[in-house]
Structure 1
Amino acid sequence: MVKIKPFEVEQWMDRLETTPGVLNIAETCAASISIDDLMHMCEDKNAPGPLSLSTKLTYGAIRGSETLRRRAAALFDRASDAAPLEADNVLITQGAIAANFLVLYTLVGPGDHVICVYPTYQQLYAVPESLGASVSLWKLKRENGHVPDVGELEGLVEANTKMIIINNPNNPTGSTIPKSVLKEIVAFAKARNIIVFSDEVYSPLYHSLPPDQDAPPSVLALGYEKTVATGSMSKAFALAGIRTGWIASRDPAIIDALAAARDYTTISVSQLDDQVASYALSEPVLGPLLARNRQLAQANLGMLSAFVERHAGVCSWVTPTAGTTALVQFKRGGVPVDDASFVLDVLDKTKVLFMPASPCFGHGKDFKGFVRIGYVCETEVLVDALVKLEGYIDDYLT
């Protein structure tokens, strides 16, 4: 029997996010939108709507409609050094969480070794462990802006290393791996015939990069065939409710293997979800949708940055540059708080919810005092939450 560790961040969220009156700044999606919202955003008022009510609801296209796969493929061509990605290089899945699981379930097994950035979404290292692989954690450092140090790979790689797993933008830190570092990672892997798997679920929400830094490309854009990337409509596109994601690879054999393995699970995604996702990624809608989410992220990050600066004696961070999440450390009397107890106490006293990093993103006390805040929620929710959190700091931390 496969033994898998509890998925801590999801279990914490499931237990607490329905607390009556909660101010949820634990949510990691850009503030959700409706189909009506999408239709109002559309710049072509003559474009057909997102749903065909006359379509018979069969299983539909097993790998996803050609339209959705083509539009998802185009997302990976940003700043590409390679030929455009084709629709056949994309497999549509039930969200990125299913995409990630399918990649790991299909490509990793007993006797394999995996290198995974850390901290990151627990799924990315817990699932390989459950499948019998050994995992080395590639630890991100605050002093390096949470950008992985490629020089450390030589000390982590083993003769049986099958895969290097990265997450760009990173959850929970909100950091960005720049193109120069991505190219070094790919070159290292290519020289050793190692798969590079990039969870890009928060891409392309690169909203606060330094003026001299461009948004990095997808790992698929760097010309190495044995690269795999996942994404979804949930985070950067604010449509978690349609449960639609994708896997893309330049290696047709990888896509075929993933499709064959998926026959045992979901077969296909809902035709309705496929249609809504296709509409959201269409040219008249995609630009306004991403602009809305980038503007929301920038405005809310400014508020959170001002909060952290005002309370520099109590909290600190590495300022996020992308995505929707921030990793913030809180201290009391110069000593990091017990983040799990702190989260529960803040929720009890203020109804403000965020996630503790030690149980959700760390082993033991790796992230003592750190919490993950999802700041790309509705602005009024963030404003109310920060006011209440300020009161808590005044009463209990200073």
Structure 2
Amino acid sequence: MVKIQTFAVESWMDKYENDCKYNIAETCCASISIDQLQELSEDKDRTALNTSKALTYGAIRGSDALRSNLARLYSAKGTPLPQDNILTTTGAIQANYLVAYALVNPGDHVICHYPTYQSLYEVPKQLGASVDLWHAKPEDNWMPSIDDLKSLIKPTTTLLIINNPNNPTGAILKRPLLQQIIDIAAEHNITILSDEVYRPIFHSINPLDSGFPPSLVSMGYPKAIVTGSMSKAYSLAGIRVGWIACRDSTIIEKIAEARHYTMISVSQLDEQVAAYALHQNTVHGLLARNIQLAKANLALLERFVLKNDDACEWVKPLAGTTAFVKFHRDGKAVDSVDFCKQLLEKTGVLFVPGSECFGEEFKGYVRIGFVNHTEKIKEGLDAATKFVRRELDDVKLAE
């Protein structure tokens, strides 16, 4: 029987997110309705749903409309990516699972960028692989060391997993580092999976910056696989649409074979909404809305950190929707679980405890999701400031 570890962050969210007053743990850009999506479109005459179409399984690998829009996004600044090199999935969580399910064998060695979303390293373990974590550290602005990566590689290493932009830190692996990763992977014939669900919410780095990271699938390495979804950057978690893209058709075909065992197709209705959102008449307005929301709310979060700098510290995120903030008292890290539980009970503010949901070494850390509706973020952070000033002395210290 497969040994399944508790999925800590999802268990935490499942337990608390529906009863909190201020959800500052949510990692999606503030969700929108189909009506709001249509308002963002430049073509007000187009509708997101064709309700007269028979609800068959539809196109097994994904609709032409959705995959062609995705192919256009991945082809914008590089060699065109054929739509046949894209598979749709039920969210990015299934996309990541399918990549591991198709490519990881018992006895393989997998390296995973860390800290990150737990399933990225737990699923390969469940499939019989040994996994080493490639640690990023706050003193290095959450940038992992390329020398550390080289030291982790074994003759049995088949897969390297990165998360860019990163959850929970909001850090990015910049272009020069990505190129070094590709060079090392190519030398050892290692496949790279890049989870890019928070792309392209780049709120604190200019696209003209020399370090600005392209999608890994646009950097010329055929064994680069990327995954994405409509949930985070595109505010449409409820339609449960994700995807896998790779320039190597052999890899895509292998994943497609594995995909038959886990699903037949993605809902036609969901894919219609996703295709509408990613159409060139809509996607620019949608992303502009979300990047502006991220910038405005990050300014609120930065003020919160400055206001409470005697009790917390961070590495300011460059992209995505999350920040990893460390709370301490008298120079000692607080117990992040006790901190988050007391914060929720006394103020209704929901954070995610880093030590429980991202690794025991992250004592005092909490993940904050700051791209929800601005008024909720402001009110929630104000309530959290009152808690820090009045209640922090009652929070346990980390052991």
What band does the TM-score fall into relative to the shorter chain? Answer: over 0.9
The alignment's TM-score, normalised by the length of structure 2, stands at: 0.96
Q: Is the 8 A contact 1:77 1:218 kept in 2?
A: no
Name the structure 1 match of 2:373.
Answer: 378
Name the structure 1 match of 2:9.
Answer: 9
Q: Does residue 251 of the first structure (1) align with residue 273 of the second (2)?
A: no
CA distance in 2, matches of 1:27, 1:258: 30
Residue 99 of structure 1 and its aligned partner are, at CA, apart by 0.4
Classify 1:78/1:177 alpha carbon distance in 2 versus 1 (closer, same or farther; 3 Å).
farther
Name the structure 1 match of 2:67.
Answer: 69
Residue 207 of structure 1 and its aligned partner are, at CA, apart by 1.2
Decide which of 173, 178, 181 is 2:177's aligned counterpart.
Answer: 181
Residue 262 of structure 1 and its aligned partner are, at CA, apart by 1.2
Write out per-residue CA displacement over residues 252-295 of structure 1, whole angstroms, 9 at most, x where no aligned residue.
Answer: 11111111111111110000000000000001100000000000
Write out per-residue CA displacement over residues 129-156 of structure 1, whole angstroms, 9 at most, x where no aligned residue.
Answer: 1111001100001122112221212210
CA distance in 1, matches of 2:154, 2:71: 32
CA distance in 2, matches of 1:214, 1:177: 9
Q: Does residue 29 of the first structure (1) align with residue 35 of the second (2)?
A: no
What residue identity is the alignment partner of 1:247? I
Residue 216 of structure 1 and its aligned partner are, at CA, apart by 1.1
Name the structure 2 match of 1:241.
Answer: 238
Name the structure 1 match of 2:151.
Answer: 155
> Secondary structure of the residue that 2:357 maps to in structure 1?
helix
Q: Is the 8 A contact 1:358 1:368 kept in 2?
A: yes
Q: Which moved more, 1:313-322 or 1:388-397?
A: 388-397
CA distance in 2, matches of 1:213, 1:14: 40
Name the structure 2 match of 1:282.
Answer: 279
Q: Is the 8 A contact 2:312 2:326 kept in 1?
A: yes
CA distance in 1, matches of 2:229, 2:108: 27
CA distance in 1, matches of 2:245, 2:323: 27
Name the structure 2 match of 1:164.
Answer: 160
> Secondary structure of the residue that 2:98 maps to in structure 1?
helix
Structure 1: 5+ residue stretches without partners: none
% identical equivalent positions: 53
> Secondary structure of the residue that 1:188 maps to in structure 2?
helix
Write out per-residue CA displacement over residues 191-215 of structure 1, whole angstroms, 9 at most, x where no aligned residue.
Answer: 1110011000000111111684553
CA distance in 2, matches of 1:124, 1:78: 28
Q: Does residue 359 of the first structure (1) align with residue 356 of the second (2)?
A: yes
CA distance in 1, matches of 2:126, 2:164: 23
Name the structure 2 match of 1:307.
Answer: 304
Aligned residue-pair number: 392
Residue 387 of structure 1 and its aligned partner are, at CA, apart by 1.0
Name the structure 2 match of 1:349.
Answer: 346
Q: Is the 8 A contact 1:27 1:377 kept in 2?
A: yes
Decide which of 95, 120, 129 is 2:116's aligned counterpart.
Answer: 120
Classify 1:78/1:336 alpha carbon distance in 2 versus 1 (closer, same or farther; 3 Å).
farther
Q: Is the 8 A contact 1:113 1:160 kept in 2?
A: yes
CA distance in 1, matches of 2:303, 2:297: 10
Q: Does residue 88 of the first structure (1) align with residue 84 of the second (2)?
A: yes
CA distance in 2, matches of 1:18, 1:43: 34
**Aligned ranges 1:191-206 → 2 under 5 Å:** 191-206=187-202
- RMSD between aligned alpha carbons? 1.2
Write out per-residue CA displacement over residues 80-102 of structure 1, whole angstroms, 9 at most, x where no aligned residue.
Answer: 3xx21110000000000010111
Q: Which moved more, 1:65-74 or 1:202-211?
A: 202-211
What residue identity is the alignment partner of 2:277? A
Q: Is the 8 A contact 1:78 1:217 kept in 2?
A: no
Q: Does residue 340 of the first structure (1) align with residue 337 of the second (2)?
A: yes
Residue 30 of structure 1 and its aligned partner are, at CA, apart by 0.1
Q: Is the 8 A contact 1:77 1:217 kept in 2?
A: no
Name the structure 2 match of 1:265.
Answer: 262
CA distance in 2, matches of 1:397, 1:270: 47
Runs of 4+ deviating beyond 6 Å: none
Classify 1:86/1:116 alpha carbon distance in 2 versus 1 (closer, same or farther; 3 Å).
same
What residue identity is the alignment partner of 2:177? V
Q: Is the 8 A contact 1:96 1:231 kept in 2?
A: yes
Decide which of 379, 388, 392 is 2:383's aligned counterpart.
Answer: 388
> Secondary structure of the residue that 2:324 maps to in structure 1?
strand
CA distance in 1, matches of 2:199, 2:343: 31
Residue 393 of structure 1 and its aligned partner are, at CA, apart by 1.0
Decide which of 37, 51, 54 is 1:53's aligned counterpart.
Answer: 51
Q: Which moved more, 1:141-150 or 1:184-193?
A: 141-150
> Secondary structure of the residue that 2:87 maps to in structure 1?
strand
CA distance in 1, matches of 2:358, 2:200: 23
> Secondary structure of the residue that 1:341 maps to in structure 2?
helix
Q: Is the 8 A contact 2:175 2:210 kept in 1?
A: no
Q: Is the 8 A contact 1:78 1:218 kept in 2?
A: no
Residue 63 of structure 1 and its aligned partner are, at CA, apart by 0.3
Q: Does residue 295 of the first structure (1) align with residue 300 of the second (2)?
A: no
What residue identity is the alignment partner of 2:68? R
CA distance in 2, matches of 1:289, 1:138: 34
> Secondary structure of the residue that 2:142 maps to in structure 1?
coil
